Amino acid sequence: MKKTTLYFCLPILLLVFDSCGLKEKREEKIFELVGADSLEMEKKEVSFYFYEEEKEYPDAIIEMFAPLSNQKFSSGRIPFEFNIKNYPFGENLDGFKLNTILNSGDPVGHNSPIFQQELNEGTYRIVAYLVDSQGLALKEFGNYVDRDFMVGNTRPFPYSAEPYLALNLPANGQTYLEGEEVTIDFLVIGGDMLLDNLKVEIKVGDFHYEITEINPVRILNLPKGEHLVQLNLSYQDGKELDGPFSSVQKTIIVQ
């Protein structure tokens, strides 16, 4: 008998325990997967939700001294220099680091505020941000900075005042064990979710979830296999954003 899969969406509010105590799942959306064949009936729930996260180091500040805005470089090693305040940054502090994202790529962690990176010709947008003890991006104003620059014979990005996304977690190709909680952690740069009436739409295969806050979204019980995670930033009225970084996608694997 042919196996069928059905999806049901149920909103629910639950309390869960973790190592820090009681945490409340907010705006949970549950998808019920029911697979049936002639021998057995299997039922599994995939859920999307977020927690009210404790804000670590809200007064942390990161400043970028290099590159300058739309600065041009020759291909090769490009210098980066930052100044970090009100944050326990240092090589001996495990988990506390400066992350950078270039053109929606995967984050790269740095244990020094001054470094160089080998880059080929192209136009680049860097987002630099600090992370907390869990590896989540700090999201208060001043916790992150962005800038455009150019390498080689290229042109700057067209000017745009639109907000855009920077995805901290997951990395492309990241693997998880079956039953492990998947974290979708992102920043919205150049806009305010509330004041600008923005939303982030998250799609993982046939699963769909929307959030109007910048809290990390958690996913529990994704089936084994490869999954395409897609994020899209838009206005709550459905109006799309035109910028090249208003959407991002990564592939993850559940083993």
Residues sharing a CB contact under 8 Å with residue 219, sequence separation 6 or more, in sequence order: 46, 47, 48, 181, 182, 183, 184, 204, 207
**pLDDT of 111:** 87
Q: What is the pLDDT of residues 242-251, one digit of tens each?
A: 888 999 999 9
Average pLDDT along the chain: 88
Write down the pLDDT at residue 9: 46
What pLDDT is recorded for position 11? 43
- Identify the CA nearest to 100 among candidates 137, 150, 151, 74: 137
76 pLDDT band (50/70/90 cuts)?
Answer: very high
pLDDT at 35: 62
Residue 127 has a pLDDT of 98
Q: Residue 212 corresponds to which tokens in the numbers above?
A: 């109007």
pLDDT band at 36 (very low <50, low <70, confident <90, very high): very low
Instruction: State yes or no: pLDDT of 160 exceeds 50.
Output: yes
What does the pLDDT read at residue 28? 95
Q: How confident is the model at residue 98 (pLDDT cuts 50, 70, 90)?
A: very high
Average pLDDT over residues 103-116: 95
Give CA–CA dist 81/149, Å, rounded.
Answer: 14
Q: What is the pTM of this model?
A: 0.87
Enumerate domains of the chain plus CATH numbers.
4-52+162-254 (2.60.40.10), 61-151 (2.60.40.10)
Q: What is the pLDDT of residue 22?
A: 63
Question: How, if at all, do strands 182-189 and 164-169 pair?
Answer: antiparallel
Find the mean pLDDT for residues 107-123.
Answer: 95
Q: What is the pLDDT of residue 95?
A: 64
- 226 in Cβ contact with 251 (< 8 Å): yes
Rounded percentage of the chain residues whose pLDDT exceeds 70: 85
